Structures are given as structure tokens and as C-alpha cells.
Chains A and B, each alone.
Chain A
Amino acid sequence: MIYFFDGSKDAFLTAFLCAFRDEDAYLTTGSRQLSLGQQSVFVPADRKRARRCAQRLTSFDGRCMHDLDMLLRSGEAERGQTAFCYFRLLADRKRPVRGEFAEDAVRQASECIRRVGLEVHRLKGFVRFMECESGALYAPIAPDHDVSDLLLPHFRARLPNIPFVIHDVRRSKAAVWDGEHTFTAPLARAEIALSADEAGWQTLWRQYYASVNIPSRERLKQMKGYMPVRYWKFMPENPSAVVDAFTAPPASRAGSQDGAPRPHGSAQ
């Protein structure tokens, strides 16, 4: 049987209870082609049952709800099933299973969690803020996994006096620090008026990036391994960046970019 759930923690735990004894259970959040004779059910979230389930699972492994949170943030289509297999093993064994890498379920879950964590780590470096007229900072991102709010504590600790918005344009949501609180809110499109100096700093940054490179030691493969091309879109130093294309007047960009290196094979 296929169990559809809405992707929330409560719905997963409810579906987990329903599917626990089902040998051929498949948990998913997305649309899925049913094969002939296959049955499906949509499981709505049931807070009471979910809480009971969470308590029981936590009694087996105190850190397992954190694992679940990370797994459900993943943007991979298989995330529901990955989490289901991991938690079914946990419920079977009735003790923490996180070290049992010989089990497929544990390995898949831990790799999925690692990928989500890796993206958080990468974005701590790759987020690029732009200064608005009000002095607040705005950064668009398009991550593979739903991690925008995981970035909040990091940036809040280092920019306590500056309000900022990290805008996940793929999921149309924003993680916000308003100077007093952090929160997330739906946000489809942002209208940003940039500060007078913003274009100037971006130009300086491109100049710096171009100057610090040593052209005789080109290693593009290594560069792209560390900084995958999918992140380049919102990073002004990269030739395929579109950062200012949708916020700043296009004229400020044309002249400033000449010094920037243009790696071969990058999307222009």
C-alpha cells in the first residue's frame, strides 16, 4: 500500500503508525504512479497519535526526532520512504541504530541527513546578502533542501544589529531576523530597493575575486566540486550570477564585470 502524507512531522508519524505492520508499505509526499492493483491512502496528520508515537520513538533513541526533522527537510523524492525504513528499524530494535552502517536503512538515512547538513554548511558560506535602502540585508537562495530557517541562528549570531531576510525563492518562503525575533513566512516575490553603495561593493568584490585567482593554475573541476554551479546564480562573483539582474539597474553590471574570470563551460 502507498501512504501519502503532507510532508509534516505529525503527518509522517501518523502515517508511520498506519504503515508500521505493512510489509509493502511505501511512504511518500509527492505524486506517484500507481502500478496495477496497488492501493493507496492519504494519511492526514493526527496530532494526538503523532505525539504518542514521537514519545515512544524518543524513548528508544533520544535524538531520533532531530533525525526526522532533517530527513523531512530533504528535497529528495524518496525522503518519506528513507525515513520510514529508518524508523521501522528503530522501532524493531527498540534501541538507537544510528551506528549500524551495515544496515541499508541506517546508511541511507544517515547519508540523506548528511546531504541536508552539507547544504546548510555550504550555504553558510555561499549566501550573498545585498544591502537595501533601509540598511536591512536581503539574500535570495534556491537550495535543494528546505534549510533556510536552519541558517537563521548562524547569521543572527554574527549580525545581531542588522535585520536580514533569507529568501528561498524555490519554496517561496523567507527566513527573517527583524532585530528582535527570528521567524519564517511565506514570500513569493520581493521588491527590493538597493542602497546607493551596493553596486559599488559588488564591483569591488568582483575585482577582488578576479585578482586573488592565479590564472596559471586553473583547476575548474576542483572549483566546481567545492562550489557546484547550481549555487552560482546568486553569487555576484560568478559569471552566471543573476543577482543584480532582477534587483539593480542592469547598466551597473555591464562595465564592472570585465575583470571577472569566465571559466569555460560555465553557463552564461
Chain B
Amino acid sequence: MIAEEKLKILTNSAKYDVSCSSSGSGRRNAGGIGNGMPDGCCHSFTPDGRCVSLLKLLMSNDCVFDCKYCMSRRSCDVPRATATPEEICELTVDFYKRNYIEGLFLSSAVHISPDHTMELLVRTVRLLRTKYRFFGYVHVKGIPKADPLLVTEAAKYADRMSYNLELPSEKSLKLLAPQKSRESLLLPMKQLQRERAVFRAEKRKGSFLPAGQTTQMIVGASPERDGQILRLTQSLYRANGLRRVYYSSYSPVVEDSLLPAVQSPALREHRLYQADWLLRFYGFDVEELVPEDENLPLDVDPKCAWALRNLHLFPVEVNRAPLEMLLRVPGIGGRSAQKIIAARRYTALTFEHLKKMRVVLRRARHFITASGKFYGEKNELAVRGLLTAGEHAERAQQLSLFDTAALSARTGEL
């Protein structure tokens, strides 16, 4: 059994990695323990509101790299630990058996050298699949600059692999993660994409990354704008076939003169994810969402912002609008759109119906008509005001003429 202290150190260093999803793989059980659940499964939720799906662990946090933003970097004084492949396999199987986790998320600091680290990861997943006969979900993080053959070997056993782009531009990467280069991250990504395509085309036995690849970027540690980030995201989805791009709000865990000292706002991360969803599930193109050198607006969500810029397309009639258009109405998501499409086959829907079907109308009512009726505001300014009012309600404070005076009276200065 792995020592408690070691587990603590290796988890603590892995917890800032955002990716925790266990979806996308339907790996079958072939006489051992575990299988894949294509929809994914959350096993617990921590007080920070995130789900625990995978056992997220570093193989080692003893790093030879010196990336400025990372708490495991070489020049940082933190307790170091390295686990053995057996310890990790045992932990995974015993946690899985008790239904604590859906699988393993294995990452590592660059321990001794990239090749040595990658070899250690490969050895662990191979052991897990062959000796421990584990068929649950395994996500392996790729180590930049490792031998391509080791990468291929890891992909044979893993369900998903990921190389973290870390920062949205080459320039920032050079500045903050001097030992990594854009090349060292994109090349293995493309290698895996190529090999996976070949594997699929030849319909070979076994599996090769059934859940594909993902990546992650830190937002707010470098000056890139949302427009630039989302353009990169879109090209990763379209050209590199990635399944997910994760964004992680920068939080200052280590001090460095090159890094901002403040936590990047969570709302910005949230807006990026909203835009990311619009790209993947709502048929939007990044050009429609935000210009390259701008950020997404914080006061309204990206779909609302798009709709407000395109008011000439609205209102749409819910009983006639095609699915693609319904999906573009602020406040109507995939499930509501499907419900509307199903229900309108039988009867002309009214606002009363929509409300009962739990379609959220707070935003949508400004952009739709139901059986010809319209209950929203036509004027753009009024709509914008109403939409942002809801978002601000908690933070907003009535300005008062007397605030400053009262304050100076208390502090004694006039």
C-alpha cells in the first residue's frame, strides 16, 4: 500500500490539472476488473465544486524543468516524491474496486529525463493492463521531448492522452516554460493523430486511444486575448482532431517577476468554456464570436452577445425555426431545443407550454415568438440592460451621493 504522505504529495501536485473526464471510451472487460463507460461517470465532488472521476496522480513531482508557473518546478522548495509502478497499479485497482474512481489519470513531472519519465509511465500502464488486468479508464499525460516510440507504446494501453499546450502562444511559452517549445507539444499530438487514423483505417484489433486527445491552457498568466485563444482552440478541434480543450484560470501558486501576482478571474474562464461549447455543440464559428484581438464580454454570455449584435435575425418563431436557429437563441440549450422540436409536431406551442416544459425564458423571451406572440423588448439597449441586470444583481450596488462624504467624516479627513 502506498504511503499516505506520498499520496498526498503526488496528488497535491496534480490537482491543478483540469482534465478529469472519463468519457469517450467503451473499453470492454475481458476477464479482469473494470470497463469503460462512454458517457463518463463522476464518483464524488470536492468542496471546490469539481468532480472526482479519475485518480489524478503524478508519477513523480521531482522535476528537471523550470516552468515559472508550476509548483513542481526545479527551483521550488517543496517536498518531493516518486511512486513505483506497482504502488500506482495497486492503488488504482483497489480504489476502482470500491467504486471510488472511474480510472487513472497519470501525469508526471519530468523526472531525470523526458525519456526516463515516459518509460516509467509506459511501464505503469502496461503493468496495469496486463498484470493487473485493469480495463477501466486510463488517461496518460504525454511528456514533451520523449521518444516517439514510447509515445506510441503508451497510446496502445491508454484510453486518452494529452499534451498540455500550457500557454496560448509560442512567445509566452518561451518566456515562462523555457524548456518546452510549441514544437515539442504539437509534434507528438500530430503523431498520435496520424497513428490513430491509420489504426482506424486498417480496422486493427485492440484499441488505440479510443477517447482521443485533449489539451490544456493556462489563461491569464500571459497577455493573449480570448479571440486568439479561441482561434487556437478552433484549429485544434478542426485540424488536430482534439476532443477537448481545457482552460485553467491562472492562480499564483509560485512567485515570479514574470508572472502576474493576482488570480485570473474565474468568470473569464467560464466565458471561454461557454464559447468552447458554442464551437463544439451549437454550430458557431469563432469569427462570429469574438475578433482576434479582443476578449469575450464579461457582462453577458457569448451567445447573448452574438444575438445582440445580430438582432436583425430575431425574433424567431419557435414553431417553425430549424434546430440550428433554435440553438442560437440565448437561453435555449440542446435539451430544450430537442424538447421543442418533439412537442411542436403535435401542437402549436405557446409561451405557457414553453414555461411548463421548463424552457428558461428569462433571456429567450427577447428573441422568440411563440404562436406569433412576443413578450420581450424590441429595443437593443433595453434587452442588453435586462440581460446584464440579472448577471449583476448580486454584485451591483446603488451609488450614493453621500458615500464618500460619510466615509471621510468617519476617517476625519475632509
Chain A residues close to B by CB (< 8 Å) = 99-102, 104, 107, 124-131, 137, 139, 155, 157-162, 197, 200-201, 203-205, 207-209, 211-223, 226-227, 235, 237, 259, 261, 263
Contacts and interface: CB of A to CB of B under 8 A. Distances in A.
A211 B15 contact: yes
A107 B356 contact: yes
Contacts of A209: 44, 46, 52
Given A125-B42, A216-B251, A205 B98 contact: yes
Nearest to A162: B97
A208 B2 CA distance: 12
Q: Identify the interface centre among B29, B135, B349: most chain A CB within 10 Å of its CB.
A: B29
A207 B346 contact: no
Given A101-B342, A102-B349, A215-B48, A207 B16 contact: no
A227 B51 CA distance: 9
A218 B94 CA distance: 29
Interface in B72-118: 91, 94-95, 97-100, 102
A204 B45 CA distance: 17
B412 interface: no
9 residue pairs, one from A and one from B, having the closest CB atoms: A219-B49, A222-B49, A99-B342, A211-B11, A213-B46, A101-B343, A227-B45, A217-B48, A125-B43
Interface centre among A124, A126, A211, A226 (most CB of B within 10 A): A211
B325 interface: no
Nearest to A213: B46
A16 to B, nearest CB: 23
Contacts, number: 148
B396 interface: no
B162 to A, nearest CB: 18
Contact of B98 (A128, A212, A217, A221): A128
B51 A226 contact: yes
Nearest to A207: B4
A223 B45 contact: yes
19 contacts: A104-B356, A107-B356, A125-B42, A126-B43, A126-B44, A155-B99, A157-B35, A162-B97, A203-B4, A204-B7, A205-B100, A207-B8, A209-B44, A212-B14, A213-B46, A213-B50, A217-B266, A223-B48, A226-B45
Nearest to B16: A214
Contacts of B37: 124
Given A128-B100, A204-B2, A204-B7, A226 B12 contact: no
A108 to B, nearest CB: 10
A101 B345 CA distance: 10
A215 B48 CA distance: 7
Given A102-B343, A102-B346, A212-B56, A218 B47 contact: yes
A90 to B, nearest CB: 13
Contact of B44 (A100, A124, A203, A235): A235
A158 B34 CA distance: 4
Interface of B: 1-2, 4, 7-8, 11-12, 14-16, 29, 31-35, 37, 41-52, 55-56, 91, 94-95, 97-100, 102, 135-136, 251, 266, 339, 342-343, 345-347, 349, 353, 356-357
B353 A102 contact: yes
Contacts of A226: 42, 45, 49, 51
Given A101-B342, A127-B99, A128-B98, A223 B347 contact: no
A200 B74 CA distance: 33
A160 B353 CA distance: 47
Given A100-B347, A102-B347, A201-B98, A218 B48 contact: yes
A250 B7 CA distance: 24
A259 B5 CA distance: 11
A208 B11 contact: yes
B98 A131 contact: yes
B47 A223 contact: yes
B354 to A, nearest CB: 9
A35 B7 CA distance: 63
Given A99-B345, A100-B346, A204 B91 contact: yes
Contact of A101 (B45, B100, B357): B357
Contact of A212 (B4, B15, B41): B15
Contacts of B49: 217, 219-223, 226
Given A211-B12, A223-B45, A237-B44, A131 B97 contact: yes
Contacts of A161: 31-33
B356 A158 contact: no
A162 B33 contact: yes
